[in-house]
Amino acid sequence: MSYKQEQIVAIDLGNGTTSYIAGNGRHGSYSSLVATFNGAKGAEGFNRDIFKLKNGQQYLVGEDCREEGAGSRSTDSSFYKSNEIRVLFIKALRDVGIKNPLIVTGLPTEFYASHKAEFEKSLRAWATEEGFQPAAVVVLFQYAGPLFDPELLDEEGKQIPPALIAKGKFGVIDIGHGTTDAGQIVDGKGSTHRYGFSKGVSDFHKELLAQLANPEQLNSQIGKKANKLPAEFKLDRQTNEHTMDAWMRQGYIPFRGERLDIYEISKPLRVKFAEQILPMVINNVWGTTDLLEGMIVAGGGMKIIGKDILKQHIHTKIYMADDPSLSIVRGFYRYAKTQIVAAKQSQEAVKS
């Protein structure tokens, strides 16, 4: 059976954000939050996007469901069997609107071997129940996405040619919302050397929230006086982990009409976050990064850590996109386009 590029639906079903890119040109992302909605659209549902499945169940998805008490997602394997991920997945398919999709997504390294077959089966069943006719469902290692990201940049900010990683040994580390994944590619081929565990950006957000609630203690860790929190600084009652995410993404804390540089304020915590993850990952896969041609880094965690801190742990060339949080979904799309669609067309051309 042949596939067309127009059928591709690449989805990153992350613990923090769900992102998709499709062959029909549609793309988007939303927070991986799901809450059951029991109200009427004319009342509590006013100005809120109600998502309804064919079985009649109604949900709020993404930012719309914060008020419904949607908390942090599980960062263990149960997330990939949950009703929440089913809703997030179906919403992506609905947004795209391709009836016979070629679905490409991923699983964290930690759960891949034990959950891949079941996850593929579940995705196909969920799609079919909602009226879709999947042409194929492909589940990759999560870290495979960044290897195919067409927007990777070198340390000078220049886009790297795809052929760069076709020769030599390159590592890849992805720090997502709830999991960290690492692997490598050698002469353009996959490798069995890989590692993953349940720790990610959500852990940083929790620590940042706790530290901001105790400004004096945090200030004692900050070197420059100009980067310290004001003596009057205090969190309000509505501040939570999701606020930390929003502040890190925008780069500042709003305070009395001014903007406090959250990257400078949080530097001691960013250094600590890197120390909790990178040495363990590097030691488990390589022992040292010295002999790698380069390291591809991806995920929202890399944006938080920043290149200056990364270079304290990664002693080779670093390749990272401007927005590393979308490296996985961009890579999944390119993988589907070059390794599935194009490869299938080439095989059929040879046969004919």
Distance CA 182, CA 162 (A): 20
Look at residue 64 in the predicted model and tell me its pLDDT.
74
Q: Does residue 332 share a domain with residue 315?
A: no
Q: Which two tokens stand for residue 91?
A: 């919403």
Q: Does residue 302 share a domain with residue 239?
A: yes
The string of pLDDT tens digits covering residues 325-337 is 999 999 999 999 9
DSSP H helices in the chain: 83-96, 109-129, 144-147, 201-212, 215-219, 241-250, 262-265, 267-285, 300-305, 307-310, 327-335, 342-351
167, pLDDT greater than 80: yes
Distance CA 85, CA 33 (A): 9
Q: Is residue 136 part of a domain?
A: yes
Which pLDDT band, with edges at 50, 70 and 90, does 50 fall under? Answer: confident
Tally the domains of the chain.
2
Q: Does residue 165 share a domain with residue 113?
A: no
42, pLDDT greater than 50: no
Q: Is residue 105 part of a domain?
A: yes
Q: Is residue 135 part of a domain?
A: yes
Please give the radius of gyration of the chain, using alpha carbons only, rounded to the nearest integer: 21
- Length of the chain measured in residues: 352
Which of 103, 149, 121 shows the shortest CA–CA distance to 341? Answer: 103
Q: If DSSP codes are grouped into helix, strand and coil, which group holds residue 266? A: coil
Q: Does residue 294 share a domain with residue 192?
A: yes
Q: Does residue 263 share a domain with residue 137?
A: no
231, pLDDT greater than 70: yes
184, pLDDT greater than 90: yes
CB neighbours (10 Å) of residue 220? 10
236, pLDDT greater than 60: yes
Q: Does residue 189 share a domain with residue 74?
A: no
Q: Does residue 289 share a domain with residue 161?
A: yes
Q: Does residue 292 share a domain with residue 205?
A: yes
Q: Does residue 345 share a domain with residue 259?
A: no
Which pLDDT band, with edges at 50, 70 and 90, does 43 fall under? Answer: very low
349, pLDDT greater than 80: no
The string of pLDDT tens digits covering residues 111-160 is 899 999 999 999 999 999 999 999 999 999 999 999 999 999 999 999 99
Distance CA 325, CA 303 (A): 8
In one-letter notation, the amino acid at residue 221 is Q
Distance CA 14, CA 200 (A): 11
The string of pLDDT tens digits covering residues 292-322 is 999 999 999 999 999 999 999 999 999 999 9
Q: Which two tokens stand for residue 220?
A: 């004692």
Look at residue 347 in the predicted model and tell me its pLDDT.
63
DSSP 203-249: HHHHHHHHHHTSHHHHHTT--SGGGSPPTT----TT--HHHHHHHHH
Distance CA 220, CA 271 (A): 15
High-pLDDT (> 70) share of the chain, %: 91
Q: Does residue 162 share a domain with residue 134?
A: no
179, pLDDT greater than 80: yes
DSSP state letter for 288: -
Query: 327 exposed, middle or buried (CB, 10 Å; 0-12, 13-18, 19+)?
Result: buried
Q: Does residue 78 share a domain with residue 22?
A: yes
Domain encompassing residue 221: 155-320
Q: Residue range 42-48: average pLDDT?
A: 53
What global pTM score does this model have? 0.90
Which pLDDT band, with edges at 50, 70 and 90, does 76 fall under? Answer: low
The answer to whether 99 and 133 are in contact (CB under 8 A) is: yes
The domain that contains 175 carries what CATH number?
3.30.420.40
Q: Is residue 150 part of a domain?
A: no
Q: Does residue 192 share a domain with residue 92?
A: no
The string of pLDDT tens digits covering residues 4-16 is 999 999 999 988 8
